[in-house]
A and B are shown apart, each in its own frame.
Chain A
Amino acid sequence: MTREQPLLDIENLTVSFPTRQGVFEAVRGISFTLGRERLGIVGESGSGKSMTGRAILRLIRPPGRITARRLEFSGTDLLQLDEHEMRKIRGQRISMVMQDPKFSLNPVMRIGEQIMEIYRFHTGAGKRAAHARAIEMLEAVSIRDPERVMRAWPHEMSGGMGQRIMIAMMMVTEPDILIADEPTSALDVSVQTQVLSIMDRLVHERGMGLIFISHDLNLVASFCDRVLIMYAGRIVEVCAADRLHEAQHPYTRGLLGSLPRLHEPRRHLEVLKRDPAWRETPSVSGRQ
């Protein structure tokens, strides 16, 4: 792992929403850094993992509030930027891929136009350059006939194609960080492997930082370098991905135990017993 300045340095990040019952904290004071690596964030629904991804891009709608002692991207304090400056970061320097491409692509614009628009918005390049770049990116995500796909409408694409197009779209500006929120859980296994290998290549070849948010422990363990395990808005454990199966925290152990395993048949799956104390223990730091 690199020892240079991290791409992303987060300290004491909190996301809170005022409700009628009082303030609800979806993320409760977590700290971590991201280098040029594949960082996995795992947790169950409601653990705050998706909120963390959105908070980095400041995509939390009011009345939701983001606070942090530090939220730095390559030395820039993201919390100090105004909305206009933030828009330049989003998409150009930090990109995000969501779970379902159907909701992320504009249904009334051809795919090529959408990719080119993003590229031109962020770089100010001409039409021709943008076209060439879009084709190049579609090829990079293993799309066989990029010219045809450029002219296609989003509804003509299958789920796997759509997700690859999303990744191409997010990568066209060569961001430093890609935040992928459950990018493959709507995809079938064969496509899932392809999409993962594309992201893997981008990390290796371009030195990008990847935040991979997922509920799938096996997938994160085999795909990422480092894993943060989140519970109730806090990080309960940080470990190297290949050592995830030796994790210590009872929550992580419980999650692993509750997975059915192909090679270890069991009559009964372990049932996770939630300890209220997990909620209260301070967040583990994921800073390096």
Chain B
Amino acid sequence: MSRLVFNDLSVWFGEGASRVDAVRHATFEVPSGASFGLVGESGSGKSTILRALMGLAPDWSGEMIVGEQRLGPKRNRAFYKQVQMVFQDPYASLHPRHSVDQVLSEVLKLHGFRDINRRVQALLDDVGLGPGFRFRYPHQLSGGQRQRVAIARALAPEPSVLLLDEPTSALDVSVQAEVLNLLNDLREEHRLTYLLVSHDLAVVAHMCQSTAVMQNGEIVEMLTVEDMRAMRARHPYTCHLLESASGYNPNAAQAL
């Protein structure tokens, strides 16, 4: 039971004249076990939705529901055991002075697990890193390996929902393929619900069954993956996104 419901969600930063509305009246639902994409350009508010859900954006109105539970202003540890997040930049999301082992065992301890040694091994196996990586520091890892560690950290509390904030945009395409495959396998194995944020339509189409397209803080269109493949979009912004997914198009450039 880990569906996500966003009902008329608005998120803003600052007060009075300096108030910036990052998200305006976003409404969508992610069924339990599904994978849902949020697409848009930088500043369109797609990452802000994730941050609001995780309690990192304090000013919001509307309704957010995880499972059957309506979220208040504070998140407790039980919430974080259920919902976890993977950050965009694996070079910034790992503590530079903590080894892989420290990162994972600290999280496991926080959530009250006992057999930490065995679980660290299991997590590393899960994300395809051998035991040789266990005592390495982030600077001894490649970008893809770091992102695997970040994924392992998110999986450590055995969550049912994983929020993915551009998980591959800092990686090379060949590494991106590995990480996307891993995420797909993990979703099946652990019956996870994914909410994926990306600017890359091809990635979203590969990972998700349905997608919301965002522009300037608003959801302008909802698409299923079939709609995307058939290029069935009504909103001009979505049409443009779909077109540029296959590269540079001089005709589209003329139209601008």
Contact = CB atoms under 8 A, between A and B. Distances in A.
A218 interface: yes
B14 interface: no
B256 A197 contact: yes
- Place the interface of chain B in its size category: 35 or more
9 contacts: A44-B173, A188-B41, A190-B237, A190-B244, A197-B253, A200-B253, A219-B247, A222-B249, A271-B174
A259 B173 CA distance: 6
Interface of A: 44-45, 159, 188-190, 192-194, 196-197, 200, 215, 217-219, 221-223, 254-255, 257-263, 265-272
Given A221-B247, A261-B202, A44 B177 contact: no
Contacts of A268: 181, 184
Contacts of A200: 250, 253
B247 A271 contact: no
A188 B40 CA distance: 9
Contacts of B229: 262-263, 265
Contact of A219 (B176, B203, B248): B248
B201 A271 contact: no
Contacts of B143: 45
B174 A218 contact: no
Given A218-B245, A262-B246, 11 more contacts: A44-B174, A193-B240, A193-B256, A222-B246, A260-B202, A262-B245, A265-B205, A265-B206, A265-B225, A269-B177, A271-B178
B117 interface: no
Interface of B: 41-42, 143, 172-174, 176-178, 180-181, 184, 199-203, 205-207, 225, 228-229, 237, 240-242, 244-250, 252-254, 256
Contacts of B207: 260
B244 A193 contact: yes
B177 A262 contact: no
Given A188-B41, A261-B202, A269-B177, A196 B172 contact: no
Most central of B41, B203, B241 by chain A CB within 10 Å: B41
Contacts of A193: 240, 244, 248-249, 252-253, 256
A258 B253 contact: no
B177 A272 contact: yes
A262 B173 contact: no
Contacts of A219: 247-248
A265 B209 CA distance: 12
A268 B188 CA distance: 13
A271 B182 CA distance: 11
